[in-house]
Structure 1
Amino acid sequence: MKNDIFICHNCPMTRTMATIGTKWKPIIIYAIGLKTLRFGEIFVRMEIISKKVLTQQLKELVEDNIIIRQEYNEVPLRVEYTLTEKGIELLKILNQLSLWNQKYSDYKVTE
C-alpha cells in the first residue's frame, strides 16, 4: 500500500498535531507573529474566538513552550504574550503553509 505509515503516539506527525492541531493554535501563533501582544490585542485580531477559548489555547501554548506569558504587577494587571524560539520556528512553518495556500487556492483575498 502506498504511504503505508503506522500512526501512533510515537509518530512525529501525531505529536505535532497534538501540540498545534486545534482550530485556533496556528492562528494565534500567526496573529502574535514577531510582536509582543496583550490579550486584548490578540482577541481583536482573532475576531470570532471567544475569550474563554482564547484563554485556554494561550495557556496550552505556554505549557508547550510555544509562547511566553509575561505578567506585570500593575493595576490593572498587564499580561503580554511573545513567541519563544520554538514558537518562532513554528511561525516560519506556518508562513510557508500560508504561501502554499496562496499558490494553490482558488480563494482570492480582497481588500
Structure 2
Amino acid sequence: MSAVEVVVAALTAGVSAGVSDAVKGEIAGVWQSLRTGVAGYLGRGKGQRVLEAFEAEPDRWRADLEQRLAEAEFHDADLVEAARRIMAVVDPKGSALGKYQVQIVDGKGVQVGDGNTQHNTFS
C-alpha cells in the first residue's frame, strides 16, 4: 500500500463501526496523533472539511481524502509508522504478512490493495 493508503486505512479504523471498543481504546492516542498530523498536511479550508466528512462517512469520503493527501504530497514517515502501528492492532494477520509495508518508487499505472478498479491512459 502507498503511504496515503496506509494512513487512510488507519484513520478508517479509528472511526469504523466494525472496530471493537477495546481496539479503539488501544489505538486512541496514536490515532489522534495521526489525525492531527494529517489535518496539518491538509491545512484549513476544503481539505479540513474533507477530513471531517470522512470521519462521519468514511466509505463515502475515502477517495476524496486520498486525493487530497496525494495533492498535498503526503510523505511523512512518522505518520506512516503511526498508521502501521494502528493497523498492527486492527489487522494483526495482515500486518504480519506485510500488507501495510508496500513501497513503490517511480511507479506508473501501479495499483496495490484490495478490491480496486483502475483505468489507465498513457501517452
TM-score when normalising by structure 2:
0.28
Q: Would you tell me which structure has more helix in proportion to its own residues? A: 2
Considering Cα pairs closer than 8 Å and 6+ residues apart, tell me whether 1 or 2 has the greater RCO: 2
Q: Would you tell me which structure has more strand in proportion to its own residues? A: 1
